[in-house]
Structure 1
Amino acid sequence: MVQGVIMHRLGSTILLLLVILCVVLLLEGAAACSGGRCELGDRCSSEGDCGSELYCYNCWIEFAGKRCVRTTVADPFKIADTSLPFNKYAFLTTHNSFSIRGEPFHTGVPRITLYNQDDSVTDQLNNGVRALMLDVYDFRDDIWLCHSKGGKCFDFTAFEPAIGTMMEVEAFLSANPSEIVTLILEDYVSSDHGLSKLFHSAGLTKYWFPVSSMPRDGGDWPRVRDMIRRNHRLLVFTSDESKERAEGIAYQWNFMVENQCKLQRWKFLRKKPRC
């Protein structure tokens, strides 16, 4: 009987301590900042908590709960003007730029795949992204953006016909005559000159940076101001080596290098990226 009373009191004490701890944590979070006073990295509960050019976001890979994160990036052409070679600048790039959460189902079949982005391609560009990584496939007698595997697109992995995204890029370049955009294609298109027809249909060829003008062997690229003056403001790279000769689309590994970095910083592992 005495033991039962002791256990009951101990359980009540633990419960009371947990309640107090929860209240303290809630008060601490609420008192941290609000009303637009939260800074980058601060915890938040709504958009109104965060300061200028920040928004409240939950990135479960990097941190638990919502924090204030950036909505735009610094413009390298405003920091260092446009007098340097193109390869002397760094640009924000989005991986699987088309894999957008909330994108409608265009095949009539629910999509079963992973999502990488919350913003439309137009919003990504307006927020400072200057390079888009896109996966292009032959699908339904057209070229589609698809987050799939094995080089084949399916109804449940397809996002949309690529023409829509290409027209978004064209609209951005047209509205921003001093900007340069790079497209990096994971290319599974085998239809005859399919990509060339796609870029022509989207009105992008007038911005095309010709592969014949791209530097070889690690040399410097033209100065940004010269690229803008010549309207060479769209750079396109493909993972299909044959397209460079067949369609004049640069094979990416003739002009790029990549450092391998394996992201292991999952919240349940608490490990840093290994590069």
Structure 2
Amino acid sequence: MVLDIIFLMLISSTSHVSANSTTVLPAAAAACSNGECQLRDECSTDRDCAAGLYCLSCPLEFRGSRCVRSTISDPFKLLNNSLPFNKYAFLTTHNSFAIRGEPSHTGVPRFTPANQEDTVTQQLNHGVRALMLDTYEFKDGIWLCHSFKGKCHDFTAFEPAMDTLKEIKAFMSANPSEILTLILEDHVEAPYELSRLFRSSGLDKYWFPVSKMPRDGQDWPLVKDMVANNQRLIVFTSDRSKQETERIAYQWNFMVETQCECFLFSCCFHLWIGL
């Protein structure tokens, strides 16, 4: 299950976008069970819900438990893959690595919020096509941590970044027509360690080069061409300097973020727009 999600859309021209959305849950339907419950019907177990749905409890959004979707429509299959990459919107998870129930890899109990219930592999299989990862230098390597003040601690660490990159590589190898985007909150200060990590993981074979990323209102390449060239991994960093030194795209050269209000542990939706 995805707990904390955003939508990512890369577009070619500079524009201002504002959006307001309101979700109104209908009145509870009559009692149902045995796979007969439909979207947003009240439920007791996953078995109550129809195919493609499962039973979710989210106290801050609605009372009790309701049937919700377990997968999304793949926009690249829905619209075909002949359009520029920036013409598609796709699902992104926030703190994709911060998984509830993930065992401690440091021997110290973790004391930091979790944002997801699915593993990274499950997120990708459920239709997520962009992951937000927080990279830190920790224990003589690069780890994914949900931390603060630029430092990772035993109680905020989730796992070595290589473990997650291996999951991503396995998915990309098994799905040769899929394009993934990684958005890094980058706290790695050691020169070239981040690019070395990607080379060691084998993901560099899918790398979409920053030199091909459009500027000044131009369209991105066609999805079918990105797939044909096997340049299917787009990586953005929050560290401006790495676009010049390591050729990793600085995110704010290519996207902006709309603002939204978030409340403690509630679901929050963003729209990201590339320039």
Query: TM-score per shorter chain, which class?
Result: 0.7 to 0.9
SS at match of 1:197: helix
Question: What is the deviation of 1:89?
Answer: 0.3
Equivalence for 1:132 = 131
Matches within 5 A, 1:102-141: 102-141=101-140
In 2, distance between residues paired with 1:75 and 1:83?
Answer: 14
1:89 aligned partner:
88
Q: Secondary structure at the match of 1:32?
A: coil
Change (3 A) 1:235 1:30: closer
Alpha-carbon distance in 1 for matches of 2:94, 2:265: 18
Residues 11-40 of structure 1: CA deviation (Å, up to 9, x unaligned): xxxxxxxxxxxxxxxxxx895111001111
Structure 1 CA distance, aligned partners of 2:203 and 2:269?
37
Q: Larger Cα Rg: Structure 1 or Structure 2?
A: 1
**Does the 8 A contact of 1:138 with 1:153 survive in 2?**
yes
Matches of 2:136 and 2:269, distance apart in 1? 31
Cα gap change, 1:162 to 1:274, in 2 (>3 Å): closer
> 2-side partners of 1:169 and 1:60: how far apart?
32
Alignment correspondent of 1:24: none
Conserved 8 A contact 2:29-2:41: no
Give how far 1:43 is off: 1.1
Q: Secondary structure at the match of 2:129?
A: strand
Deviations 1:106-139 (A, max 9, x none): 0000000111100000000000000000000000
Q: How does 1:75-224 map to 2 (within 5 A)?
A: 75-224=74-223
Is 2:270 aligned against 1:244?
no
Q: Normalized against structure 1, the TM-score is what? A: 0.85
Offset of residue 244 of structure 1: 0.5
Quote the residue 2:224 is aligned against. 225
Partner Cα distance (1:274, 1:151) in 2:
23
Which letter maps to 1:77? Answer: F
Name the structure where strand makes up a greater proportion of residues: 2
Deviation at 1:189, TM superposition (A): 0.4
Task: Mark the CA change 1:169 to 1:69 in structure 2 (over 3 Å): closer, same or farther.
Answer: same
Moved over 2 A (4+): 263-267, 272-275
Q: How has the CA–CA distance of structure 1 residues 264 and 38 changed in structure 2, closer, same or farther, with 3 Å as cutoff?
A: same
Q: Does the Cα contact within 8 Å between 2:257 and 2:270 map onto a contact in 1?
A: no
The structure with higher relative contact order (CA 8 Å, sep 6+) is 2
Q: State the alpha-carbon separation in 1 of the partners of residues 189 and 99 from structure 2.
A: 25
- Tell me, yes or no, if the aligned pair for 2:35 and 2:51 is still in contact at 8 Å: yes
Q: Which amino acid aligns with 1:80?
A: L
Alignment length (residue pairs): 244
Asked whether the 8 Å contact 1:62–1:265 carries over to 2, the reply is: no
| Cα 1:142–1:56 shift into 2, 3 Å | same
Structure 1 residue ranges without an equivalent (≥5): 1-28
Structure 2 residue runs without a partner (length 5+): 1-27
Secondary structure of the corresponding residue to residue 237 of structure 1? strand
Question: How far off its partner does 1:155 sit?
Answer: 0.3
Shift in Å, 1:264: 4.5
